[in-house]
A and B are shown apart, each in its own frame.
Chain A
Amino acid sequence: MSLTHQDVARIAKLARIAVTDEEIVAVGAQLNNIFSLIEQMQAVDTDGIEPMAHPQDVSLRLRDDVVTESDRRAAFQAIAPQVENGLFLVPKVIE
Chain B
Amino acid sequence: MKWEVVIGIEVHVQLNTASKIFSGASTAFGAAPNTQASAVELAFPGVLPVLNRAVVDKAIRLGLALDAKINQKNVFARKNYFYPDLPKGYQISQMELPIVEHGKIKILVGDQEKVIGVTRAHMEEDAGKSLHEDFHGLSGIDLNRAGTPLLEVVSEPDMRSVDEALAYVKVLYALVTWLGICDGNMQEGSFRMDVNVSVRPEGQKEFGTRREIKNLNSFRFLEQAAKYEIQWQIDTLEDGGKVQQATVLFDPDSGETRMMRSKEDAHDYRYFPDPDLLPVRISDEQIARIRADLPELPGAMQARFVESYGVSAYDAALLTSSLKQAEYFEAAAKASGQGKLAANWVNGEIAARLNRDGKEIGDCPIDAARLSGLIVRIADGTLSSKLAKQVFEAMWDSELSADAIIERDGLKQVSDVGAIEKMVDEAIAANPKAVEEFRAGKEKALNALAGQVMKASKGKANPAQVQEILKQKLA
Q: Which residues of A contact B (CB under 8 A)?
A: 14, 16, 51, 53-54, 56, 58-69, 71-73, 76-77, 82, 84-95
Contacts and interface: CB of A to CB of B under 8 A. Distances in A.
A87 B19 contact: no
24 contacts: A51-B96, A56-B278, A58-B278, A60-B277, A62-B53, A65-B55, A66-B19, A67-B19, A69-B23, A72-B39, A76-B39, A85-B33, A86-B32, A87-B33, A87-B34, A87-B141, A87-B142, A88-B84, A88-B141, A89-B135, A90-B138, A90-B141, A94-B132, A95-B260
B51 A62 contact: yes
B88 to A, nearest CB: 13
Nearest to B44: A76
B38 interface: yes
B312 interface: no
A57 to B, nearest CB: 9
Interface in B30-51: 32-39, 42, 50-51
Contact of A69 (B26, B73, B142, B278): B26
Interface string B120-154: 00000000001110010111111100000000000
Nearest to B280: A60
Contacts of A93: 83-84, 130, 132, 139
A61 B50 contact: yes
Given A62-B56, A63-B52, A87 B140 contact: yes
A58 B277 CA distance: 10
Interface string B49-85: 0111111100000000000000001010000101110
A69 B38 contact: yes
A92 B138 contact: yes
Nearest to B249: A95
B408 interface: no
B24 interface: yes
A60 B281 contact: yes
A93 B32 CA distance: 22
Contacts of B52: 62-65
A95 B135 CA distance: 17
Closest 8 pairs (CB-CB, A-B): A68-B24, A87-B140, A65-B54, A86-B33, A59-B281, A62-B53, A60-B278, A53-B75
Q: Which of A61, A63, A84 has the most CB of B within 10 A?
A: A63
A66 B54 CA distance: 10
Interface of B: 17-19, 23-26, 32-39, 42, 50-56, 73, 75, 80, 82-84, 96-97, 130-132, 135, 137-143, 260-261, 268, 270, 273, 275, 277-281
Nearest to B96: A51
Given A89-B140, A92-B132, A92-B139, 7 more contacts: A53-B75, A56-B278, A66-B19, A86-B34, A89-B138, A91-B138, A94-B139
A47 B42 CA distance: 41
Given A90-B138, A92-B132, A95-B260, A65 B143 contact: no
A64 B53 contact: yes
Contact of A59 (B32, B84, B279): B279
B42 A76 contact: yes
A81 to B, nearest CB: 10
Contacts of B23: 69
Contacts of B18: 65-67
Given A14-B270, A87-B131, A72 B38 contact: yes
A62 B56 CA distance: 9
A14 B275 CA distance: 20
A88 B138 CA distance: 10
Contact of A63 (B35, B53, B80, B97): B53
A61 B56 CA distance: 12
Nearest to B77: A53
Contacts of A64: 52-54
A89 B139 contact: yes
A88 B25 CA distance: 18
Given A66-B19, A86-B32, A54 B268 contact: no
